[in-house]
């Protein structure tokens, strides 16, 4: 039997045409999909000889159940029921053993019309300036379907390009609100105060985000990559087009989300939003349907994330179970305690196992779980406090270096210029006064540093401090503007370890350790 186009199923004809079209397509110019290339970009191929650029969003947590506590939203009376701040947690999908942390990938730009057509149409689009605009006018269901088409194409044509976790390839989807807002605020590339600001650090909003008005978008959607990126290297996270989220909309109920799940969420504002609406906490609910058809808007588009499954293997299940068993078992795990102190959680578990009354057994089990959750919350708050103490100690070490070296400079000049002069010399009297003032200032600073070091060592102990030193060091590595603190953190930890070992208050030695640090020179990017 001879097969002709008319005798083939319609879906097969479309598939063959798509394959032929893709084979004949010319590679896209980089400017059409990545107008601002960077050495840290991660590139995935697309149909029609296309590509998509991603950026790593890194979190310095390595344990199976480790995650980073963060605060999202914003305290604003006008929008409290929608945007009020609330506690959240984030962890990456992929393990980075070299960096001792985890990460997920987020698309560097909003999905363009060119990329959308390459994934959804039977023929390959011809790259053009117009097609480098973010795609809009599609529904949430279209967005989910587009991610699915991309996933299936990658698994058929470029499986080896996908990052893996425990042997399982990652997959693309719309971001959750937590993933999106953490990245929109700058992740760990900004300090904690900048993270909680209305938007990431910027000198002038019009240089970074498209909003309404003649000085910015002028009422039109704009090409990708024309403005400056946020600290994670992501473009147009705020403004240009609103971006669809994976999870449904929830109202805010003070410090938690309300129980009713609604429509889908769009984030970030768009080219028709006023400047005050362009902020990291901006969120809006959209009905999945507009009357009889799925809802769409000319101001709404999407950005994809690349993540991995949580449970990837039987070994991973065992790791999770082991971590779960110890989770919250003892809130004083890193503190000094009496040898006779009982672990209340274990005691409750043991008691419950010996009770025959099923109702009482369940009550004891519920109480055990509540206590574990309370202990775990205390431990997470404790870890944050430890990192805050390490941040303070590292910063004070920089001040000790500055003030200590300045005192040495004043001493040197005084010895050089005033050693053999009469005590009545006016200039030498001034120098002596300044020398005394600087000496007093340094003595006060050294005392404050010593008190902070001793208090932290006493409160948290070596085990608790050591774990968070590793975490905080990775946080400094991720934030290039703060990476200069790394050698001072190392010096502060050296001082703290010495105290933990011998219990000796060695302010002179601690000062000298900080003074001897050679701070790394800032790179052009950091400047």
Domains of the chain by range and CATH?
Answer: 15-307 (3.90.1580.10), 329-373 (no CATH), 378-515 (no CATH)
- For residue 346, the model assigns a pLDDT of 67
Indicate if the pLDDT at residue 405 is higher than 90. yes
- For residue 312, the model assigns a pLDDT of 86
For residue 56, what are the β-bridge partners? Answer: 105
The region of weakest confidence among 113-122, 265-274, 317-326 is 317-326
- For residue 25, the model assigns a pLDDT of 73
- For residue 14, the model assigns a pLDDT of 42
Q: Tell me the average pLDDT across 295-321.
A: 93
- For residue 17, the model assigns a pLDDT of 43
Indicate if the pLDDT at residue 334 is higher than 70. no
Q: Quickly count helices (H) and strands (E) in the chain.
A: 13, 18
Q: What is the pLDDT of residues 486-524, one digit of tens each?
A: 999 999 999 999 988 888 889 999 999 999 998 554 443
Q: Tell me the average pLDDT across 358-376.
A: 77
- For residue 91, the model assigns a pLDDT of 93
Torsion of CA 126, 127, 132, 133, to 10 degrees: -20
- For residue 35, the model assigns a pLDDT of 97
Distance between CA atoms of 486 and 520, rounded to whole angstroms?
9
419 — pLDDT class (breaks 50, 70, 90): confident
Cβ neighbours, 10 Å, residue 81: 11
- For residue 338, the model assigns a pLDDT of 39
pLDDT above 70 covers what percent of the chain?
89
Helices (H), 162-250: 177-184, 192-195
Q: Tell me the average pLDDT across 293-317.
A: 94
- For residue 23, the model assigns a pLDDT of 55
Indicate if the pLDDT at residue 77 is higher than 70. no
Query: How far lies 160's CA from each of 22, 154, 165, 306, in Å?
Result: 20, 9, 13, 14
Indicate if the pLDDT at residue 7 is higher than 90. no
- For residue 328, the model assigns a pLDDT of 72
**pLDDT: which is higher, 244 or 383:** 244
Q: Burial code of 260-288, b = ≥16 C-beta within 10 A, e = fewer?
A: eeeebbbbbbbbbbebebbbbbbbbebee
- For residue 330, the model assigns a pLDDT of 54
41 — pLDDT class (breaks 50, 70, 90): very high
Compute CA 419 distance to the chain's CA centroid, rounded to the nearest angstrom. Answer: 56
- For residue 63, the model assigns a pLDDT of 85
- For residue 522, the model assigns a pLDDT of 43
- For residue 50, the model assigns a pLDDT of 96
Cβ neighbours, 10 Å, residue 394: 24
The region of weakest confidence among 34-38, 164-168, 286-290 is 164-168
Q: Tell me the average pLDDT across 283-291.
A: 96
Indicate if the pLDDT at residue 1 is higher than 50. no
343 — pLDDT class (breaks 50, 70, 90): low
464 — pLDDT class (breaks 50, 70, 90): confident
Query: Any residues with CB less than 8 A from the CB of 507 and at least 6 apart, and which?
Result: 446, 447, 449, 450
- For residue 342, the model assigns a pLDDT of 45
64 — pLDDT class (breaks 50, 70, 90): confident
Q: Tell me the average pLDDT across 350-375.
A: 75
Q: Tell me the average pLDDT across 219-248.
A: 97
Q: What is the pLDDT of residues 84-93, one digit of tens each?
A: 888 899 999 9
**pLDDT: which is higher, 138 or 79:** 138
Structure tokens given for 120: 């959804």
Among positive and negative, which fits the CA dihedral 320, 325, 330, 334? negative
315 — pLDDT class (breaks 50, 70, 90): confident
Q: Tell me the average pLDDT across 220-237.
A: 97
Q: What is the pLDDT of residues 149-176, one digit of tens each?
A: 999 999 999 999 999 998 899 999 999 9
- For residue 263, the model assigns a pLDDT of 97
- What mean pLDDT value characterizes the chain? 87
Residue closest to 62 by CA, chosen among 92, 105, 104: 92
80 — pLDDT class (breaks 50, 70, 90): confident
Indicate if the pLDDT at residue 46 is higher than 90. yes
- For residue 16, the model assigns a pLDDT of 46
Q: Residue 340: helix, strand or coil by DSSP? A: coil
Indicate if the pLDDT at residue 341 is higher than 50. no
Indicate if the pLDDT at residue 321 is higher than 90. no
Indicate if the pLDDT at residue 331 is higher than 70. no
Indicate if the pLDDT at residue 339 is higher than 70. no
Phi-psi region of 19 (alpha: psi -120 to 50; beta: other; left: phi over 0): alpha
Distance between CA atoms of 426 and 119, rounded to whole angstroms?
81
Residue for token pair 């006018």 = 137
DSSP annotation of 310: S
- For residue 372, the model assigns a pLDDT of 73
255 — pLDDT class (breaks 50, 70, 90): confident
Distance between CA atoms of 255 and 218, rounded to whole angstroms?
38
Phi-psi region of 80 (alpha: psi -120 to 50; beta: other; left: phi over 0): alpha
- For residue 22, the model assigns a pLDDT of 56
């Amino acid at each position: 039997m001879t097969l002709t186009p008319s005798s083939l199923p319609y879906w097969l004809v479309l598939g063959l045409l798509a394959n032929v079209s893709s084979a004949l397509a010319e590679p896209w110019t980089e400017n059409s999909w990545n107008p601002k290339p960077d050495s840290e970009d991660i590139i995935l191929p697309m149909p029609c000889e296309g590509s998509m650029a991603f950026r790593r969003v890194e979190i310095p947590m390595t344990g199976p159940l480790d995650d980073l506590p963060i605060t999202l939203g914003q305290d604003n009376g006008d929008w409290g029921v929608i945007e009020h701040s609330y506690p959240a947690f984030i962890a990456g999908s992929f393990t980075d053993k070299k960096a001792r942390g985890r990460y997920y990938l987020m698309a560097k730009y909003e999905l363009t019309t060119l990329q959308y057509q390459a994934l959804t149409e039977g023929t390959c689009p011809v790259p053009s300036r117009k097609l480098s605009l973010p795609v809009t006018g599609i529904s949430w269901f279209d967005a989910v379907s587009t991610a699915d088409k991309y996933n299936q194409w990658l698994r058929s044509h470029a499986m080896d390009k996908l990052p893996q976790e425990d042997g399982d390839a990652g997959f693309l989807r719309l971001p959750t609100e937590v993933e999106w807002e953490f990245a929109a605020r700058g992740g760990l590339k900004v300090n904690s105060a900048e993270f909680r600001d209305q938007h990431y650090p910027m000198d002038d909003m019009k240089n970074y985000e498209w909003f309404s008005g003649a000085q910015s978008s002028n009422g039109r959607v704009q090409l990708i990559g024309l403005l400056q990126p946020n600290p994670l290297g992501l473009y147009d996270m705020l403004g240009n087009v609103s971006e669809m989220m994976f999870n449904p909309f929830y109202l805010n109920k003070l410090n938690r989300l309300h129980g009713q799940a609604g429509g889908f969420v769009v984030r970030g504002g768009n080219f028709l939003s006023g400047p005050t609406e362009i902020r990291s906490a901006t969120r809006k609910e959209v009905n999945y349907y507009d009357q009889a058809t799925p809802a769409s808007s000319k101001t709404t588009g999407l950005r994809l994330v690349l993540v991995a499954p949580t449970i990837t293997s039987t070994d991973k299940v065992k790791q999770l179970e082991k971590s779960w068993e110890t989770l919250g078992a003892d809130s004083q795990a890193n503190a000094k305690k009496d040898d006779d102190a009982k672990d209340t959680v274990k005691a409750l578990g043991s008691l419950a196992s010996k009770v025959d009354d099923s109702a009482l057994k369940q009550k004891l089990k519920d109480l055990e779980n509540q206590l574990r959750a309370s202990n775990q919350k205390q431990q997470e708050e404790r870890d944050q406090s430890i990192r805050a103490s390490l941040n303070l100690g590292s910063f004070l070490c920089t001040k000790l270096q500055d003030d200590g070296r300045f005192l040495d400079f004043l001493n040197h000049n005084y010895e050089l210029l005033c050693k053999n002069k009469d005590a009545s010399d006016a200039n030498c009297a001034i120098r002596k006064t300044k020398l005394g003032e600087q000496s007093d200032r340094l003595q006060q600073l050294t005392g404050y540093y010593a008190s902070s070091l001793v208090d932290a060592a006493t409160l948290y102990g070596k085990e608790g401090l050591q774990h968070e030193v590793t975490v905080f060091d990775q946080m400094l590595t991720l934030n290039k503007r703060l990476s200069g603190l790394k050698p001072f953190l190392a010096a502060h930890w050296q001082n703290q370890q010495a105290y933990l070992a011998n219990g000796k208050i060695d302010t002179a030695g601690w000062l000298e350790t900080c003074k001897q640090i050679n701070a790394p020179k800032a790179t052009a990017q950091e400047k």
